[in-house]
Structure 1
Amino acid sequence: MQQRPMNRRQFLTRSGGGALGVAALPGMLAACGGDVETTSGLSSSTSAGPSTTRALTQVKGDKPWWLQGNFAPVSKEVRSTSLKVTGSIPDELAGLYVRNGSNSVNADTGHWFIGDGMLHGVRLEGGEAKSYANRWVRTTLYESGDGFADAGIPGGDIGYSNVSAFTHNNKLFTSGEIGFPYELSPKDLSTVGVYDFDGKLDTNMTAHPKVDPETGELHFFGYGFFEPFLTYHVADAQGRLIHSAPIEVGKSTMMHDFAITDRDVVFWEFPVVLDLSMAAEGADLPFRWEPEYGARIGVLPLGG
């Protein structure tokens, strides 16, 4: 059967990857006004309690499991200062806990990693859960209002920003598998805007950057569909991009994460290879396992 070529959004939907990401910010969330407030013109709620968990075996019907039950996308934004705590919270556990994940506005995605990023934040202080809020990340794709619009080649401001939440230089960010990170306000989780390090970032950014606990420097990378396939970056403790260097690899491979030590940066490259011809032909997943490409571990000096 001949398959139709797919557009940029369809490519993202079929080739995306990601994982749940969290961040903790001590003492950075102001109390949200009022008991409960909803946005986006949706109906209000009287509490922000957990939804009922449903086992996978209980999920039935034609929809995929990630669109049903406890896995289904949240349909509204809520702010609440009326939170019930079961048990007790240690006084020492204080700050803002933020969760990021895929939460499609249109509630219709082809993979459980795909969908608009949504943050959930809980403020803990003095042994109490002071406030809760959830907000969609206002990315370019979210603001377009059309979940299947052809917005161009993935990258830059075009991405879901739905994988991780992390902090650096007292700022809160979200990131996805591709594209630039977005800055969010820790006060109410509202979107400040796309963050490109004052125009110096010109590649994708990993969803899992690492902060050097001794220097405060942020180490990260970006893998791309075209050369340079892999680029290593470092930002100083003040958030200024101070180092960018391409790393020679043979092809575009899906490289989700990496690691740093006190002296090294470590990359893992595996033979999950992007196939542009498959993407053009409309393949469901335009990556293929190419064992002859091999697997490599790259060890470089920390900082470049």
Structure 2
Amino acid sequence: MRVLLAGASGMIGSELRSQLAAAGHDTRRLVRREPAAPDEFLWNPAERSVAVDLFEWADGVINLSGSSLQHLPWTRATKRRILSSRLQATGTLAEGMRRADQPPAVFVSGSAVGYYGDRPGQQLTEAAGKGTGFLADVVDSWEAAARLAPSATRVVLARTGVVIGRGGALTPLLPLAKAGLAGPLGSGRQHWAWISLHDEAAALIHLLGSTLDGPVNLAGPTPATAGELVKALTQAVRRPYFLPVPRFAIELAMQDAGRELLLADQLVVPQKLLDDGFEFRDRTIQDAMDRLMEVRAA
């Protein structure tokens, strides 16, 4: 396929580009600086500027663009940037597709499990409704922007959790784990939706060629709690798991970000991917952590 990719320079985008190339797909990247390679093309989401002929060329578009949630603390300005960066990028892509005489067949737009909010005791398939909180509202608006793609384009909303790879959500946890200072976050019993970096990229590619549409949960097939995830990380680096961080300390230090990123309970089930025959390489959190350590050691 011919794939147009927004957000190609990040952790997920880099792995996705590698897997797309290995599978023989032709990729073009949207960049916000002067293009420095033949496959790079300039766009400016803040000004809704992108060349329409790119959408005439593409069979599919993948959107991974958006300001990182790891920029802490979540001040009012940070929250505005988190929302506006997603709406500008997604809106620019949807508008470009609408302007094309022959729009792409599929639009896989990044989304997040933050849509579900804090839902203890519930299994969250794609049929679950919207939760409450800042992230739930952001994701709801983000997905609405993606749905403005033309009717001829199949729209997939890739609701992703914690991606286990070099960077991302593990950036602050890894040095603590290596220093032997990692332990339960809050109770540690809250479920975290996780997926390995390899499976995240592989699932995005799967969605390009699938018939699935609407929200699709990108999460590992074996649920894990926050405690199990952090413990798997400490075991992978051969360090103890013992130093707890109490809930009040997380809320005091991180406020909304702590409550929504670290303390929310989300047992997310990738029902659509499983029903569609997608095969996960890393089926447990320990598989994903062990693979991450192998990559880091290589």
Q: Pick the structure with more helix per residue.
A: 2
Compute the TM-score of the two structures, normalised by the length of structure 2. 0.28
Q: Pick the structure with more strand per residue.
A: 1
Compute the TM-score of the two structures, normalised by the length of structure 1. 0.27
